Chains A and B, each alone.
Chain A
Amino acid sequence: MSTLDDHSKEIPEDTAGGATAAQSPEEKIKKQDNGPGGPIILFFILGLFASLIVGWIIFPKLLYSQKKQPIDFNHAFHVAEVENGCESCHFFRKDGTFSGAPKLEQCIDCHEEIQGVDPDEIKFVEEYVSKGREVPWLIYSKQPDCVFFSHAAHIKGADMECVACHGHIGESESLKVYEENRITGYSRDIWGKSIGGFKKNTWDRMKMDDCADCHQKNYAIIEKTGVKTPTKRFVDHMIEVVSPGSSISGKGTSVQTERDACFVCHK
């Protein structure tokens, strides 16, 4: 702690320099201030760490409640078992709407009766299939009521993979814990795990800006050529860097924000 050393040197120098009577009370005050400087700084640093721990570790723990899915489900096993891959259970209807989480109808062919000894399967058949009750799955990616999302636009229109937004759920062997924000009631997958807002994978978060950023990068390119090539994306990016707002990708349909109009994703 160099500051303390500096001060301890300063004080004797001043007194040695023959301070006048008028200055000495000030010096006394200074001395009193300097005395507890070390503990104060230490207290500050400890306080900072304490707040960081509260803010980054304890608060998120308190903010999110953990819920288990009603029954566990093994994707890896089932995808190998069914004929049509993901589409056996997550399919598009003719009018373009997406079926989402499967209904009993997609399971009943194989699970009319208990086939094995797995406790999850037994629970599934006894509590849901035989009683004709749908499983109340918790949806990790559930967006707020006011959001309109279209799987058709992304899967059929833009040829995207499920992984891009959902991560590796489709290859997982069990369903992860569902975390619910106690204040908003939304799933944690919307805000993401990282409290600091860092994002490594495209699926880490699905907030409004995550949707909008991808749209902004993509649509000008799709519009002009029907494909997205890395070169085009790069050129577009460079134009945007050199003079922001002038590349076509900087201009959305919204008059207010020059991004996508609100009614693209809201309803």
Chain B
Amino acid sequence: MKHNKAQKFGMVIDLDKCTGCGSCMVACMSENNVPFRKDESDKFLSITWMRVYRLTNGKPFPNTDICYLPRPCMQCAGQHEGHSPCVSVCPAIATDYSTETGIVSQIYTRCFGCRYCMASCPYHARYFNWWDPIWPDGMEKYLSPNVSPRMRGVVEKCSFCFHRYQLAKEKAFMEGRRNIEENEYQTACTQACPAGAVTFGDLNNPDHAVYNLVKPDHKHSGRPTNPHAFRLLERLGTNPKVYYLSSRKWVRQVGDNYLKNEAKVKKPVHHG
């Protein structure tokens, strides 16, 4: 329902602060009833809504440098709002884009498992359930009732802990409000990060921390004024809502797949 002005929930992850500890991954799995298997050694079969990648600059000692990069779903808006890679290809309308929150939804009961969205997602943020989840004895009782469990044959992905938004709104209705405060809706990974590297909020709201971290520069088609800010594979025009901060140039370049001796091209920038 369109009571609020359009919000654009997004995340800013400071890679200089990230230690690669993986707390965000653990918090995410337990918050969202993410299934796991007895043997998780084959990472192609693991389901990780939030996943920490390890990047290196590829230089020999003593110039070696590594960087950890947590990757949730980017909640792409696409070239025009809602033209996300996955939403535009889904033949079942199982994945959708909300103009109220800017979040890409995934309705598991609607999905029939064609995996077109996985092929279209440049971030590998979508995962397929090859099996029904098998919970260790007694663990079923610890699942969250706020997130519906998935079954075999459907695709799942990070939802920016959308159920927390639903609960926050419910509380707001109780108190006669329609708008929710910044601290009432935070994702599990944001709260779990011991280094405080993850910030979450409404990118349209100047009162929110994320807005100020990547304050848009309207003279340059909305690019963040912060020179350390970048988005993953920005040149594809997916228009993600997850921003990264890094003071290291090589990290910023890896984030966009720059080639070694690339000619300086004027970057197409999309920010909507």
- Measured CB to CB, the residues of A under 8 A from B are 92, 94-97, 144-146, 148, 150, 152-153, 156-157, 215, 219-220, 222-223, 251-257, 260-264, 266-267
Is the C-beta of B166 less than 8 angstroms from some C-beta in chain A? yes
Is the C-beta of B96 less than 8 angstroms from some C-beta in chain A? yes
Cβ-neighbour of B2 out of A156, A252, A257 (below 8 A): A252
Is the C-beta of B267 less than 8 angstroms from some C-beta in chain A? no
Is the C-beta of B55 less than 8 angstroms from some C-beta in chain A? no
A251 CB, nearest partner CB in chain B, Å: 8
Cβ-neighbour of B101 out of A92, A257, A263 (below 8 A): A263
The answer on a CB contact under 8 Å between A260 and B1 is yes
Residues of A within 8 A of B178 (CB): 157
- Measured CB to CB, the residues of B under 8 A from A are 1-3, 81-82, 87, 93, 96-101, 103, 105, 107-110, 146-149, 159, 162-163, 166-167, 169-176, 178
User: Closest chain A residue to B168 by CB distance?
Assistant: A96
The answer on a CB contact under 8 Å between B1 and A264 is yes
> CA–CA, A251 to B99, complex, Å?
10
Q: Lowest 3 CB-CB distances: which A-B pairs, in order?
A: A255-B82, A261-B98, A96-B174
> CA–CA, A263 to B271, complex, Å?
24
- Residue pairs across A and B with CB atoms within 8 Å: the count is 110
The answer on a CB contact under 8 Å between B81 and A255 is yes
List, sorted by A's number, 5 A–B pairs whose CB atoms are closer than 8 Å: A146-B108, A146-B109, A150-B173, A254-B99, A263-B166
The answer on a CB contact under 8 Å between B105 and A263 is yes
> CA–CA, A134 to B220, complex, Å?
62
Cβ-neighbour of B173 out of A94, A96, A148 (below 8 A): A96
> CA–CA, A220 to B175, complex, Å?
22
> What DSSP secondary structure best describes chain A's contact surface?
loop
Residues of B within 8 A of A263 (CB): 96, 98, 101, 103, 105, 159, 162, 166
The answer on a CB contact under 8 Å between A96 and B99 is no
The answer on a CB contact under 8 Å between A254 and B163 is no
The answer on a CB contact under 8 Å between A96 and B101 is no
Cβ-neighbour of A223 out of B3, B87, B172 (below 8 A): B3
Residues of B within 8 A of A153 (CB): 169-170, 173
The answer on a CB contact under 8 Å between B148 and A254 is no
B146 CB, nearest partner CB in chain A, Å: 6
> CA–CA, A97 to B148, complex, Å?
17
The answer on a CB contact under 8 Å between B3 and A267 is no
User: Closest chain A residue to B146 by CB distance?
Assistant: A267
The answer on a CB contact under 8 Å between A150 and B169 is yes
Cβ-neighbour of A144 out of B93, B109, B167, B176 (below 8 A): B109
The answer on a CB contact under 8 Å between A148 and B163 is yes
B263 CB, nearest partner CB in chain A, Å: 36
> CA–CA, A252 to B147, complex, Å?
23
